[in-house]
Structure formats: C-alpha cells, structure tokens
Chain A
Amino acid sequence: DTAVSQTPKYLVTQMGNDKSIKCEQNLGHDTMYWYKQDSKKFLKIMFSYNNKELIINETVPNRFSPKSPDKAHLNLHINSLELGDSAVYFCASSETGYEQYFGPGTRLTVT
C-alpha cells in the first residue's frame, strides 16, 4: 500500500550516461515534487508539478528534465550524468500547500 513509490532505489552509473527515475503516488494528490539531497543532507527542491503542469523549476541544469504523464506519475530524466549529480533524489506529493509525503528515495552514484 505504498503511498509514494520510486524506482529504482539505487542507481550506479558512469559519467556521460543518461538515466531515469520513476515516481508514482496513489494518494490522489494534485502536486508532485522532485528534491535533491546532497551528502551534507541539504534538501533542495528541483521541480514541482500541479496536475501535470510544471509550476516550479528551480535553477537546475537543462540536463534534468521532469515529465508528468498524468497526475499520479512524475518521472525525472537526467542526461549526460556528471559526478556532481551523485545524491539522493526524493519524489514527494501533496495537496497544494499541505504536508508533503516523500517517496523512499533513489540513491544515484555517478562514477
């Protein structure tokens, strides 16, 4: 009965590769988010979608492209991976303005 799920949980890849992370929520929320948490635990918002529409796009390199095929899914595609992209990526969802429910995270390691 997972509320917010992400796949994969771990991702190890080489520099220059392209990878995707998938997120799904079954809470019926209208807003979904991607966060990046670095090695110092700093949790930073990257993107937010409301009913499939992009509403927050932080200063994130163009290599990162979110896609929301429907209200329950938000995927993150990363092109030309760099060492600095290594982090834990969290997907989250909420009713707009209320508490956010986070997925389990995807630990990305770029070698």
Chain B
Amino acid sequence: DIQMTQSPSSVSASVGDRVTITCRASQGISNWLAWYQQKPGKAPKFLIYTASSLQSGVPSRFSGSGSGTDFTLTISSLQPEDFATYYCQQTYSFPLTFGGGTKVEIK
C-alpha cells in the first residue's frame, strides 16, 4: 500500500494569511493526487485532482502542485469559510489511501 503523510497536523492562521499544507507519498504516484476539505459534521468536499486541477466551483485561492512523491496545497488568502480539515489522497492505485489530515484553525 502507498502511505500518505501530511504535515503539519494542524496550523493556526488568520484571515488573509497564506497557508501551505504538504503531503508526501511513500512511493512515486506521478500527479495522481487529490485534495479534500472537510468541515465538522459534513462530508468531505472534492477540491483538487491530478495534483493541480481545480474541481468545478472551487475558488481560485486554492491551488495544488507537485509530482512524484511531494505535493502541496496552498490557500493564497485564507477566508473564514476555509477553516476546516484538509486531506490528501493518492489516486494512483488501489487501495486508495488518505493522509492523516491537516486542521486549519483560527489564530
């Protein structure tokens, strides 16, 4: 199985801040990586696929990059509705595996 490691596990930030979350795969996955946002009590929301492609309707302040084993999710200017937990997921092969999550909290 491909292991996914996210860091940090939590980050405190203010509205307007730039936030970067990293995700590392235990082996090369090309660009087959997805990102999700989850708010308390809600299902995850699909944000990004193939490492850098924004899902329809996702604000442009979200961006993704990376290839191989190292990936990043960046929120360029944090908005109040962005406080949530973010998960990466490798979509290269079954079994699909998620990172442990990064909680973005209000500073």
Q: Do A and B come from one complex?
A: no
Q: Which residues of B are at the interface with A, using a C-beta cutoff of 8 A?
A: none
